[in-house]
Amino acid sequence: MSSTHKFWNTQPVRQEVSSAEEEGPIKIPKEVSKTPLPLPPNFSWVTLDVTNTNDLTELYTLLSNHYVEDSDSLFRFNYSAEFLMWALTVPGYLSQWHLAIRSSTGTLLAFIAATPQHMKIKKEEVDIVDINFLCVHTSLRTKRLAPVLIREITRRVNLEGIYFAAYTAGIRIPTPYSVAQYYHRPLNIKKLVETDFLSLPDDKISTYSKLYGTVVVPKGIRMRPMTEDDVDIVSDLLNQQLSKYEVAPVFSKEEVRHFFVPRKSIVDSFVFLTENGEVSDFMSYYHLPSRVLQGNQGTLNAAYLFYYACNSIPLKDMVNSVINYAKVNNIDVVNCLTIMDNDLFIKDCKFGPGDGNLNFYLFNWNLNPIESKKVGIVLF
């Protein structure tokens, strides 16, 4: 089935009907305009300085009121301000890639971000950007502002000599190279039922609480939070693990320090030790609470499995150890996708299928579809 996409059909992305084209770059622009795209009257482009509390708070407020919701509008992602600062100030970030639109009265109306990343796509290594946090204020939806944001961020990224991007989205547009399914490991059954994340008859709650309340962590597993001192070994382990997948980042040590040294309520990372006390394995998750939109408007504390490197400890034992840590630390549900080696633990670690899918995209790079277990990239 092919449908018409007024914007996406004009862009250098794989089109639904394209078939035997060569994999790789689609079109490198000969010239890049030095002038920002025009905006409707009373709107202006602004660059947010996310290290400045006022700008960061404005961005937090826009996203917490207008960003991604589930299909039933029960929950909305509620990235904390500290999380946003962390996610946007990666090594090599450029503040002109934290692009927003303001009205003449000063209201923040829209946002899109690009962050640099070194990526392996099959056998090639390329400098790309990750695109994330695309958001248009609900009062301005369906007015074709998203294509303007995408074109302007493309121009700004192209100006730095970068022509490719990775992004993920719940919606299907031309054309994902892979699609993964969300899985959920319930921890706090009572809360998940109260917020309608899970629907269960009353008489099943205690049975489910018992079933999901126990996390079997094998004896003898030695795990501790990662520290700065682990950056070198974690970089090696992680890049080795990621080299298995078809699309995956290649992390510098600086990036490993930024992304994985634990930050309270943002990212938790663990190293696993051999009997000799050497670091052999690694696992991390990030914190992404959702605002509950119905009823008492509370918060669902969700952890999302992030990157890992598995060598000597069975993956399911590592995941259970991490789930146990999350449980003790007030996480209500742990989420993951059917990417990387996750199908090796999903069932054993009591993850259940969700109803959401995530589509994986590349901009300006033609890649034939791959199975989600070959995908090694996690975007927030």
Residues 111-140 that bind ligand MYA (CB under 6 A): 129, 131-136
- Hey, is 308 helix, strand or coil? strand
Per the CB < 8 A criterion, the answer to whether 193 and 200 are in contact is yes
Query: What element of type H or E holds 189?
Result: helix 189-194
The least CB distance from residue 128 to ligand MYA, in Å, is 7
Of the candidates 108, 86, 224, 180, the one whose C-alpha atom is nearest the C-alpha of residue 375 is 180
Among positions 363, 366, 373, 376, the unique one binding ligand MYA when judged by CB under 6 A: 363
Per the CB < 8 A criterion, the answer to whether 363 and 129 are in contact is no
Nearer to ligand MYA, 319 or 337 (CB): 337
The least CB distance from residue 344 to ligand MYA, in Å, is 28
Nearer to ligand MYA, 136 or 187 (CB): 136
Nearer to ligand MYA, 150 or 303 (CB): 150
Query: What element of type H or E holds 145?
Result: helix 145-158
Q: Does 141 bind ligand MYA (CB under 6 A)?
A: yes
Size of the site for ligand MYA (CB under 6 A): 36
How far, CA to CA in Å, does 88 sit from each of 93, 175, 236, 300?
7, 26, 24, 23
Among positions 5, 122, 263, 316, the unique one binding ligand MYA when judged by CB under 6 A: 5
Which residue, chain included where needed, has tokens 């958001």? 135
Of the candidates 302, 365, 359, the one whose C-alpha atom is nearest the C-alpha of residue 336 is 302
Query: Cα separation of 372 and 232, whole Å?
Result: 29
The least CB distance from residue 120 to ligand MYA, in Å, is 17
Q: Give the gyration radius of the chain's Cα atoms.
A: 21
The least CB distance from residue 275 to ligand MYA, in Å, is 44
The least CB distance from residue 378 to ligand MYA, in Å, is 14
Nearer to ligand MYA, 364 or 366 (CB): 364
Nearer to ligand MYA, 141 or 204 (CB): 141
The least CB distance from residue 113 to ligand MYA, in Å, is 8
The least CB distance from residue 71 to ligand MYA, in Å, is 11
- Interface segment toward ligand MYA; rule CB under 6 A; list 63-71, 189-197, 285-293, 369-377: 63-71
Nearer to ligand MYA, 134 or 337 (CB): 134
The least CB distance from residue 271 to ligand MYA, in Å, is 31
Q: In degrees, to the nearest 5, what angle opens at C-alpha 296 toward C-alphas 291 and 298? A: 30
The least CB distance from residue 106 to ligand MYA, in Å, is 20
Residues 144-183 that bind ligand MYA (CB under 6 A): 144-147, 150, 153-154, 157-158, 162-165, 167, 169, 171, 173
Query: What element of type H or E holds 353?
Result: strand 352-363
Query: Cα separation of 269 and 249, whole Å?
Result: 18
Helix residue spans in the chain (DSSP H): 53-66, 81-88, 145-158, 189-194, 205-213, 231-242, 253-260, 315-328
Per-residue contact string for residues 6-45; x = within reach of ligand MYA by CB under 6 A: xxx-------------------------------------
Residues 208-237 that bind ligand MYA (CB under 6 A): none
Nearer to ligand MYA, 96 or 324 (CB): 96
C-beta contacts of 1-7 below 8 A and 24+ residues apart: 5/173, 5/174, 7/144, 7/146, 7/147, 7/150
Per the CB < 8 A criterion, the answer to whether 78 and 64 are in contact is yes
Nearer to ligand MYA, 169 or 261 (CB): 169
**The amino acid at 299:** T
The least CB distance from residue 129 to ligand MYA, in Å, is 6
The angle, 0 to 180 degrees and rounded to 10, between the axes of the packed helices 253-260 and 231-242 is: 100
Query: Cα separation of 313 and 241, whole Å?
Result: 14
Residues that bind ligand MYA (CB under 6 A): 5-8, 66-68, 129, 131-136, 141-147, 150, 153-154, 157-158, 162-165, 167, 169, 171, 173, 363-364
